[in-house]
A and B are shown apart, each in its own frame.
Chain A
Amino acid sequence: MKITEPEVRYVAGLANLKLTDSEITRLAKDMDDILTHMDALSELDTSAVEPMAQVLYQSEETATLREDQPVPPLGNEIALANAPLAGAGYYKVPKVIER
């Protein structure tokens, strides 16, 4: 067993996913199966291999740097247009701080 149901519940908490009991059971099975396949990588000796950070190396390191120039912003109204709940120019969310 690579992963147990309690571990699946823990990871779901990290991922901010509310899952049903049947989803937990199914995920435990699927993830176990997939993680077992992923273990094949441990066969490879990679002690002398650099991890890849970027697939293309041609550009100079400073190539993407540029002068900071102010441009007109999106605007409050447009930025909030897709909000499920907005008010007074802000996103509205359930209260975080107890009074």
Chain B
Amino acid sequence: MNIASLTIEQVQAGLAARQFSAVELAKSALEFAQAENPKTNAYLHFCPERALAAAERVDQKLAAGENAGPLAGVPLAVKDVIVTKGVRTTCGSRLLERYVPPYDATAVVRLEQAGAVILGKTNCDEFAMGSSNENSAFGPVRNPVALDRVPGGSSGGSAAAVAQGTAVVALGSDTGGSVRQPASFCGVVGVTPTYGRVSRYGLVAFASSLDHIGPFGRTVRDAALLLETMAGRDECDSTSAFAPVPSYTAQLDGTVAGLRLGLPREYFEGLASESGDRIHQAVELLKNLGCEVREISLPATQYAVPCYYIIATAEASSNLARYDGVRYTTRANSTRANEDTLSGMYRATRGEGFGAECKRRIMLGTYVLSHGYYDAYYLKAQKVRTLIAEDFHKAFAEVDAIVAPVSPFPAFKIGEKLDDPMEMYLSDIYTITGDLAGIPCMSVPCGKTSEGLPVGMQILAKHFDEAGMFRLADAFEKAGGFAGSN
């Protein structure tokens, strides 16, 4: 058994053949992950007691001849913005360094009920704000493919853990590309489902109208299995969708011949040449599979970055107001005059606790919502969001899915882009549109640059057409031999 390259299917087969028990697997996986973690800083902390308890439950069920679930014994990493009862959940922030949630996120409950074994919590940009994982209060994550480079963000730790082999699958969260972009940088599969497909209960809120929980895997099949296990209506999240959840994995392996795919011309402007080459080769491969490819236009794309950064920061400034030194573990120590009042304590706690990127976004969000600016920024952005969603709606009348790059460039060097926040925001151009429209989208590996850096291809589909998206990604992955290619 090679822990670093296991798939869910191999875990199932190993358990069924009694090659190892779930407890043995959990112990080996924890030992391996803890030994490897100093290289990348992908995990912030481990939860061995919880992992072993979950593994014991699996072994007991197996011993009793019961069904231990579709994820029985599968080592899982969870991004540290998703709450875990009794296990610290820091959101990559000093402010929540000691926060121990009193409840589990619905996604976590469902995956554990299906037999998953949570090894620990993964590093991320503070409150999921960033595209490089350099905004974590607990240090950056290094890309396991090239240790001097970023893993992408904000779910950089989850992507790195799956790429490094210190988890079989992982949970991330995506508000503007935070699952797909790190998946592309690390050479793994990352999925942003339809808005509302997975309950957000227990996902610490960044921008509620854009936030999604999404899976990472080394294969399309593993990511699809994780998603179908945790998706579906949840009474604890009124925005979670009622639509029934089909089995995505049961629909893999079908033909994709005759599928109509759109290439949005706006997504190829400003694309680094080698990344563009890989995408164009991917398109050739899709044509060989019998897909019909045509150029399409999504004209509102050029307005997506400003639209997104107005809406996301506005919602963030409101959501992050709760971290005021009263309820969540951290209060400023300073006792200087003027901070002895309630509002002084709020200001000092927030001023000392939030990192630079969170402060920048809280400030922008407060500004765009403030008196005299609301119509010009927030209301305008909500209208532009309608235009971006309408672009997709029109496109999906002509095509079954859209194929595009994930990021304008592959993983960059740590520190390289820290000084220019606007440049970092602009790099989110290809991923934020899917979140603004609420459609399912994913990154699937499609090769490497001459320096060996992974490139991801993005697939975007209609609302609730995860099944079609996965079928295309699976066929592509198999035809290109890209499974576990990182």
Task: Write the residues of chain A forming the contact surface with B, with a CB cutoff of 8 angstroms.
Answer: 3, 8, 11-12, 14-19, 23, 26-27, 30-31, 33-35, 37-42, 44, 46, 49-56, 58-59, 63-64, 66, 74, 78-79, 81-85, 91, 93-96
Q: A50-B386, A53-B382 are in contact. Are A85 and B331 (CB under 8 A)?
A: yes
Q: Let me know if B387 and A46 touch, CB within 8 A.
A: yes
Q: A30-B360, A51-B383, A64-B238 are in contact. Are A93 and B370 (CB under 8 A)?
A: no
Instruction: Provide the bound-state CA to CA distance between A3 and B363, in Å.
Output: 12
Q: How many residues of B contact A (CB 8 A)?
A: 76
In the assembled complex, the CB of A24 is this many whole angstroms from the nearest CB of chain B, namely 10
Task: Write the residues of chain B forming the contact surface with A, with a CB cutoff of 8 angstroms.
Answer: 98-100, 102-103, 194-196, 209, 235, 238, 241-243, 300, 302-303, 305-307, 309-310, 317, 321, 324-331, 339-348, 350-352, 354, 356, 359-360, 362-364, 366-368, 370, 376-377, 379-387, 389, 421-422, 425-426, 436-438, 463
Q: Say which residue of B327, B340, B366, B384 sits within 8 Å of A91 (CB atoms).
A: B327
Complex contacts, B331 vs chain A, CB 8 Å: 84-85
In the assembled complex, the CB of A60 is this many whole angstroms from the nearest CB of chain B, namely 9
Q: Let me know if B242 and A8 touch, CB within 8 A.
A: no
Q: A52-B385, A56-B438 are in contact. Are A17 and B367 (CB under 8 A)?
A: no
* Chain A interface mostly: loop
Q: Let me know if B351 and A41 touch, CB within 8 A.
A: no
Complex contacts, B381 vs chain A, CB 8 Å: 41
Q: A31-B363, A41-B306 are in contact. Are A56 and B235 (CB under 8 A)?
A: no
Q: Let me know if A34 and B364 touch, CB within 8 A.
A: yes
Q: Say which residue of A15, A26, A34 sits within 8 Å of B425 (CB atoms).
A: A34
Q: Let me know if A56 and B195 touch, CB within 8 A.
A: yes
Instruction: Provide the bound-state CA to CA distance between A17 and B138, in Å.
Output: 22
Q: A41-B307, A46-B387 are in contact. Are A83 and B360 (CB under 8 A)?
A: no
Contacts A16-B343, A49-B384, A58-B463 known; 6 new A-B pairs at CB < 8 A:
A15-B362, A18-B350, A44-B387, A49-B383, A56-B195, A58-B242
In the assembled complex, the CB of A11 is this many whole angstroms from the nearest CB of chain B, namely 5
- 8 smallest beta-carbon distances between A and B, as pairs: A55-B438, A18-B351, A51-B382, A84-B331, A18-B347, A46-B383, A38-B306, A15-B366
- Highest count of chain B CB atoms <10 Å: which of A18, A46, A59: A18
Instruction: Provide the bound-state CA to CA distance between A74 and B352, in Å.
Output: 30
What residue in chain B is nearest A33 (Cβ atoms)? B422
Q: Let me know if A16 and B346 touch, CB within 8 A.
A: yes
Q: Let me know if A17 and B383 touch, CB within 8 A.
A: no
Complex contacts, A59 vs chain B, CB 8 Å: 241-242
Q: Let me know if B363 and A15 touch, CB within 8 A.
A: yes
Q: Let me know if B380 and A81 touch, CB within 8 A.
A: no
Instruction: Provide the bound-state CA to CA distance between A40 and B360, in Å.
Output: 20
In the assembled complex, the CB of B456 is this many whole angstroms from the nearest CB of chain A, namely 24
Complex contacts, B321 vs chain A, CB 8 Å: 16
Q: A52-B389, A55-B209 are in contact. Are A17 and B380 (CB under 8 A)?
A: no
Q: Let me know if A27 and B306 touch, CB within 8 A.
A: no
What residue in chain A is nearest B344 (Cβ atoms)? A94
Q: A44-B303, A49-B387, A94-B340 are in contact. Are A15 and B317 (CB under 8 A)?
A: yes
Q: Say which residue of A18, A39, A82 sits within 8 Å of B99 (CB atoms).
A: A82
What residue in chain A is nearest B435 (Cβ atoms)? A55
